[in-house]
Structure 1
Amino acid sequence: MATVVRLNLRGLNQLMTSTAVQAELDARGRRMAEAAGEEFEYVSRPHHRTARGYVQPRSAKGARQEAREKRLLRSIDAGR
């Protein structure tokens, strides 16, 4: 017998755009940027449907470090 699950989409959308979720995402992103090194930065970019943020190279030097050493990949554990 199949089980039907109905999602409360309005509640889910409120949760995904809440300040608490964005704050948690920002904290994790900052930790990842710090673990990646001083050539990386965290940029908070909230969207109207979800909390968002990016860790990105701050400079060409950071982009080279990422290409050679995979610093962003290695910083993932800091975001947990």
Structure 2
Amino acid sequence: MNIESIGTANIIDLALKYKVKKLIYISTSGVYGKFEIEKSVTENFNVSPVSSYAIAKRFNEIYLQSISKKYPIKTSL
């Protein structure tokens, strides 16, 4: 969890330093918990991380959303 979050924080710091206009963050379906394969998952699903990796990914999603509100950088999750 620590490596994932520190790595994302480092990327954000560099993006702000070099005035990057947009960051694209790749998360994991694990942030939505367990679901039936037959059903498609959308961003509207309830969040229920199933592992420390998924928790770290969800933390980073929230962190990036807050960064995009505070600084002139767009994010896509």
- TM-score relative to the length of structure 1: 0.32
Higher-Rg structure is 1
Higher relative contact order (CA 8 A, sep 6+): 2
Query: Which structure dedicates a bigger proportion of its chain to strand?
Result: 1
Q: TM-score, normalised on structure 2?
A: 0.33
